[in-house]
Amino acid sequence: MSSGATGQAAGSESKLALATLIVTAAAGTVLSWLVAQHSLVGARWKFLLLVALWVPVWVAGALAAGRVGPRRLALALLVLFSLLIRLAAATGTTPSISNDAYRYGWDARVQLHGIDPYTYPPDAPQLRALRTAVYWPSPAACGHLRMGTGCSTLNRPEVRTIYPPVAEAWFVVVTVAYPGHDGSRPWQLAGALVDTAVVVALMVCLGRYGRDPRQVAWYALCPIPVIEFAGNGHVDGLALLLLVAALLALERGRRGLAGFLIGLATMVKLYPALALVACWRKGGIRMLVFAVATVAAVELPHLLAVGSHLLGYLPGYLKEEHYASGGRYLLLGILALSGPATSALAVVCVSLAAVWVLRAGPEPATGLVVLLTVVILVATPVQPWYAVGLGGLGLLVGAPWLVLPAAAGEIYYAAVILDSPHQIGIGRLCYGTALVAIVTVIWVGRRRRGKARAGQDPPPTGISSTRSSAVAVTARKPPPVSSATEFG
């Protein structure tokens, strides 16, 4: 075939891919809006069917995005489409699966009245004057919500807040930026904007790692982050943004800035602290000092104000979720060990993963993905939004399929919220399927790499390390696979 014919064929393929991307993004926007008009409690299992309709649209769009040219056009469209899809998710009158956003608004309201958020639980008599109909509906509204008289839209109004200080500060920022609204809309819009910023940050980071930035489509068009971060406004999206920014800072040699960002992320949600282990080889003492100093700086004012109450509901949460007794570990529980033995085994699994990361010294993104994957599959949380970040971070190591634990969590969460008598079995099946799929993909990838080294097959794209930014910039090409730092 002549060069002209080859170019014409490539152009036709790019146009077809562009058309596919536009059509699937439009369909994704409609589906995002449709999902936002329903709730898990109201629609029950039909809610997951709506989400399931979105999945093939997402996959088709993500596959097409990688073939759209020129690349700048594809990236601009992905940013635009990701924003539109997320704004559509923010149109629901109430969050679809979680009422956490109401707690965010209440905590901000308390702080704006000069009260430390860790001082009292929401139903404390000292805070009675701050109550509004949004948080304590009228008897008629409670009946409409299928709740008893004196109900509250806040989750666990009898306990102190569980959110760390940076999350609490973020609640105030959003409330001040969107005044006069006590409902969920400010958090949905803030979540949509933050998650769109995550898409942009992932694009930049993919480029620094020598990967095709168009792969961000696997996150930008995915229904799970849209539902969790935009539709329900979960603050975990902010933690993910800070983590990606920290990885980017570290890639540029800014160890102090990376530590500062990791410290901030940890004070949004605690699990980003795993990045200190994952980034140790590259960040060193400077990163650790900045991270610890950041945590201390944001914790100290609250510690002086409320003392031990700074822990909020965290100890109670761990007990309620049966982590202390060992009952929460669905996959490890299959071994039929006693509660304390199961908890001990969970600690061993996570510790072994941490030791491997410290000894093997993979690139920071790879180490973080390994640790977070192990933690999620060991802890098997009810809340699926804890695992959503894996879908984004996985792109940095060539593993978009790491969205599977979050998908498993969505189904398990539905079983719990809908009070299914088989919720434990459903949770084990979903998380177990995710584990088997991940192990299978890694095993197949390692076999193919082995054959490639023997000259039988071309090497596939998998989870691998990247060279330093200096080498990447000098070489102007993607870094080679390094078997010494592969996941698995």
pTM: 0.89
Token pair 């990247």 in the structure block, residue: 466
CA quadruple 388, 20, 29, 76: dihedral, nearest 10: 70
On whether the CB atoms of residues 481 and 459 are closer than 8 A, the answer is: yes
Alpha carbon distance 82, 193 (integer Å): 10
What's the rounded Cα separation, in Å, for the pair 231 and 33? 9
Helix ranges (DSSP H) in 90-125: 100-112
Q: How many CB atoms lie within 10 A of CB 322?
A: 15
The torsion angles phi and psi of 361, rounded to 5 degrees, stand at 65, 45
**Cα distance between the two ends of the chain:** 42
Q: Can you give the pLDDT at residue 336?
A: 72
Question: Which tokens in the block code for residue 220?
Answer: 């930008």
Written as one letter, the residue type at 468 is: S
CA distance 341 to 234: 33
- Other C-beta atoms lying within 10 Å of the C-beta of residue 118: 25
Whose tokens are 């190591």? That residue is: 397
Instruction: Report the distance separating Cα 220 and Cα 203, nearest Å.
Output: 10
Q: Give every residue of the chain whose pLDDT is below 70, as ranges.
A: 1-11, 143-150, 456-488
Residue ranges of domains in the chain: 100-177, 322-488
In whole angstroms, give the CA distance from residue 46 to residue 24. Answer: 22
Residue-wise burial string across 211-227, b where 16 or more C-beta atoms lie within 10 A, e elsewhere: bbbbbbbbbbbbbbbbb
Separation CA 410–CA 404 (nearest Å): 10
Percentages helix, strand, coil for the chain (3-state, rounded to 5) are: 70, 0, 30
The structure tokens listed for 383 are 């809340």
Looking at residue 317, its pLDDT comes to: 84
Sign of CA dihedral 331, 332, 337, 341: negative
Element (H, E) at 57: helix 45-65
The reported pLDDT for the residue numbered 289 is 98
Cα angle 447-450-455, degrees, rounded to a multiple of 5: 125
Cα–Cα distance list, 359 to 14, 347, 352, 365 (Å)? 44, 18, 10, 15
Q: Render pLDDT for 131-182 as a digit per residue (tens, 0 to 9).
A: 988 898 877 777 666 666 568 889 889 999 999 999 999 999 999 998 877 7
**What whole-number distance in Å separates Cα of residue 231 and Cα of residue 94?**
9
- Give the pLDDT score at 474: 33
Position 148 scores a pLDDT of 64
